[in-house]
């Protein structure tokens, strides 16, 4: 699902990055004497995001992903059928999906078996009959084998990470194609359904709501349904031995929490505060954007970070109160409102970090002003290398460094001082409401802040977002 207001911009960006034989969109001439005839060409092999040039594809808009699979942790073997429903946004004689997963045994488009080729993470499909603009089509991909672990520019790992009792599944920024063919970019959201069959005794925990859970012949099948649009990087179907607790928040939102028994003690405080966090953030940011909430607290020591997987953040170790607050705040900022380009990552991490500061203050800890001034934040010396990275374009290696988190949160606190509390919280609420279940850019945020405050904020944002150095006046 793509917002049409952005499609023209996206297409233009794709045209700019087009390079190499697979990417160049063919400019088909109109058939002479037949101006209404389809003009078939290849969908772009990139969505045009400079941080991950292979990520995403052009020419179609995914509506729904359905993945039906079995996974056996003993062999690490997955046997899967993925069904992808999409709408063509141009007349297509070829299109790509992003896929780094195991060997494909068959691929059909609208029920017709098709030849396909693979090149790196590109899965290249040549549909016959060809597809016309506006046509809904269904791609069925069958594959089996060991899903991939993906290494990021900063050296951390994601994708399908085996654990001692299952698999830790996380995909930011580029891990989901390790196990599911996708249009892997936050600008193409879709609904998802996972049907996961795992050995009896294990639990498969996915995004959204649990539709059913059935055991027979030593295997349990879990069906998870994500009814709101989701970016592919926020998908999870994490598998392991879990203690499951189901409750509801005071506001009536269902809560599903799965905790590795070895993490129960270390996560108790964070888990106990989860409903209160959702209610606190709802009061500040506007209504919680999804039909359910929860968390997956696993044991994946080689991962070492948590991720805001939609509706249920996933933790690779015990969850602290502060990290839980951060991942839940991402449900508004990051998950419901996703970045238009990965260079906009401060819109995710700065917002979630600021929400963490707010929750600390609400919970009786340091005030946000104290945190702003601390030695991890504004208290850093002007000579520190911390200040030398441009917040609005940190580069792929620094996407998850302290720059987007700490300088991002500082930028919001500085904005709050500039426009006042009422306007600041109205900006945060409008940001969540206007872009709900969509995506937005840094330029969109600046425009909203100027509109809501009635101030020219060009100089302010220039100092905080676009310049190197420690801001001194703004």
Judged by CB under 6 A, the residue of 305, 386, 425, 474 near ligand TRP is 305
> What values do phi and psi take at 328, rounded to 5?
-75, -35
Contact criterion met (CB below 8 Å) for 351 and 334: yes
Residue 68 C-beta-side C-alpha neighbours within 13 Å: 6
User: In the 3-class helix/strand/coil scheme, how is 56-85 assigned residue by residue?
Assistant: CCCCEEEEEEEEEEEEECCCCEEEEEEEEE
Stretch that binds ligand TRP, among 149-157, 246-254, 286-294, 406-414 (CB under 6 A): 149-157
344 is a site residue for ligand TRP (CB under 6 A):
no
- Out of Zn ion, ligand TRP, none, what residue 306 binds, judged by CB under 5 to 8 A for its kind, is ligand TRP
Stretch that binds ligand TRP, among 152-160, 200-208, 258-266, 414-422 (CB under 6 A): 152-160
Radius of gyration of the chain (CA): 22
Stretch that binds Zn ion, among 19-27, 351-359, 374-382, 416-424 (CB under 5 A): 351-359
CB crowding 56-87: b at 16 or more within 10 Å, else e: bbbbbbbbbbbbbbbbbbeeeebbbbbbbebb
Tell me how far, at minimum, the Cβ of 326 lies from ligand TRP, in Å: 6
Is the torsion defined by CA of 95, 101, 107, 110 positive or negative?
Answer: negative
DSSP codes, 425-440? HHHHHHHHHHTTTEEE
Tell me how far, at minimum, the Cβ of 307 lies from ligand TRP, in Å: 5
Nearest Cα to Cα of residue 474 among 422, 466, 462: 462
Tell me how far, at minimum, the Cβ of 334 lies from Zn ion, in Å: 7
Nearer to ligand TRP, 56 or 173 (CB): 173
User: In the 3-class helix/strand/coil scheme, how is 122-176 assigned residue by residue?
Assistant: EEEECCCCCECCCCEEEEEEEEEECCCEEECCCCCEEEEEEECCEEEEECCCCCH
Nearer to ligand TRP, 326 or 380 (CB): 326
CB count within 10 Å of CB 461 equals 22
Nearest Cα to Cα of residue 123 among 100, 97, 144, 95: 97
Alpha-carbon distance of 332 to 427, in angstroms, equals 13
Quote the tokens at residue 291. 């039909």
400 is a site residue for ligand TRP (CB under 6 A):
yes
Tell me how far, at minimum, the Cβ of 230 lies from ligand TRP, in Å: 15
Site for ligand TRP in 349-388 (CB under 6 A): 349
Alpha-carbon distance of 347 to 352, in angstroms, equals 8
Tell me how far, at minimum, the Cβ of 84 lies from ligand TRP, in Å: 24
Tell me how far, at minimum, the Cβ of 172 lies from ligand TRP, in Å: 4
Tell me how far, at minimum, the Cβ of 60 lies from ligand TRP, in Å: 27
Stretch that binds Zn ion, among 203-211, 286-294, 350-358, 447-455 (CB under 5 A): 350-358
Residue nearest to ligand TRP (CB): 400
Alpha-carbon distance of 77 to 75, in angstroms, equals 5
Judged by CB under 6 A, the residue of 152, 184, 225, 452 near ligand TRP is 152
CB count within 10 Å of CB 251 equals 12
352 is a site residue for Zn ion (CB under 5 A):
yes
Nearer to ligand TRP, 49 or 152 (CB): 152
Site for ligand TRP in 102-131 (CB under 6 A): none
Judged by CB under 6 A, the residue of 154, 164, 200, 246 near ligand TRP is 154
Nearest Cα to Cα of residue 328 among 360, 371, 293: 293
- Out of ligand TRP, Zn ion, none, what residue 3 binds, judged by CB under 5 to 8 A for its kind, is none
Tell me how far, at minimum, the Cβ of 174 lies from ligand TRP, in Å: 9
Judged by CB under 6 A, the residue of 49, 308, 344, 393 near ligand TRP is 308
Distances (CA, A) of 171 to 46, 165, 180, 309: 18, 20, 11, 8
Site for Zn ion in 276-305 (CB under 5 A): none
Tell me how far, at minimum, the Cβ of 327 lies from Zn ion, in Å: 7
CB count within 10 Å of CB 8 equals 9
Nearer to Zn ion, 125 or 352 (CB): 352
Stretch that binds ligand TRP, among 74-82, 118-126, 151-159, 202-210 (CB under 6 A): 151-159
Nearer to ligand TRP, 89 or 360 (CB): 360
Name the site residues for ligand TRP (rule: CB under 6 A): 152, 154, 156, 172, 305-308, 326-327, 349, 400
Name the site residues for Zn ion (rule: CB under 5 A): 349, 352
């Amino acid at each position: 699902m793509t917002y049409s207001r952005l499609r023209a911009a996206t297409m233009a960006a794709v045209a700019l990055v087009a390079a190499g034989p697979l990417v160049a969109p063919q400019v088909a001439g109109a058939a002479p004497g037949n101006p209404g005839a389809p003009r078939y060409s290849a969908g772009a092999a990139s969505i045009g995001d400079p941080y991950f040039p292979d990520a995403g594809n052009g020419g179609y808009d995914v509506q729904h992903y359905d993945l039906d699979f079995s996974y056996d942790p003993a062999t690490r073997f997955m046997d899967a059928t993925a069904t992808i429903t999409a709408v063509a946004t141009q007349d297509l004689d070829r299109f790509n999906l992003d896929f780094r997963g195991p060997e494909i045994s068959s691929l059909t488009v609208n029920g017709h078996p098709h030849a396909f080729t693979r090149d790196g993470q590109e899965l290249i499909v040549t549909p016959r009959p060809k597809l016309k603009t506006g046509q809904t089509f269904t791609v069925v991909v069958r594959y089996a084998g060991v899903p991939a672990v993906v290494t990021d520019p900063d050296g951390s790992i994601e994708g399908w990470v085996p654990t001692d009792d299952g698999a830790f599944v996380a995909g930011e920024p580029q891990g989901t194609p390790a196990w599911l063919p996708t249009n892997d970019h936050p600008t193409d959201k879709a609904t998802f359904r996972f049907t996961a069959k795992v050995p009896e005794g294990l639990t498969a925990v996915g995004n959204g709501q649990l539709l059913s859970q059935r055991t027979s012949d030593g295997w349990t099948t879990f069906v998870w349904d994500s009814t709101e649009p989701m970016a592919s990087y926020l998908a999870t179907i994490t598998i392991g031995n879990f203690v499951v607790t189901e409750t509801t928040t005071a506001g009536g939102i269902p809560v599903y929490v799965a905790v590795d028994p070895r993490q129960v003690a270390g996560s108790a405080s964070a888990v106990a505060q989860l409903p209160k966090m959702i209610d606190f953030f709802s009061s500040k940011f506007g209504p919680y954007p999804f039909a359910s909430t929860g968390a997956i607290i696993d044991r994946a020591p080689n991962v070492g970070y948590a991720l805001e997987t939609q509706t249920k953040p996933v933790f690779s170790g015990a969850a602290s109160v502060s990290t839980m607050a951060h991942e839940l705040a991402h449900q508004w900022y990051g998950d419901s409102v996703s970045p238009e380009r990965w260079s906009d990552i401060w819109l995710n991490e700065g917002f979630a970090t600021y929400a963490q500061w707010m929750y600390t203050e609400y919970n009786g800890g340091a005030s946000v002003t104290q945190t702003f001034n601390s030695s991890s934040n504004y208290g850093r010396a002007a000579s520190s290398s911390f200040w030398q990275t441009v917040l609005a374009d940190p580069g792929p290696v620094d996407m998850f460094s302290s720059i987007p988190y700490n300088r991002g949160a500082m930028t919001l606190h500085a904005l709050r001082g500039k426009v006042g509390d009422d306007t600041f919280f109205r900006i945060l609420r409008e940001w969540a409401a206007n872009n709900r279940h969509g995506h937005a850019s840094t330029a969109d945020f600046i425009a909203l802040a100027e509109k809501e405050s009635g101030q020219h904020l060009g100089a302010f944002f220039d100092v905080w977002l676009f310049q190197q150095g420690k801001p001194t006046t703004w």
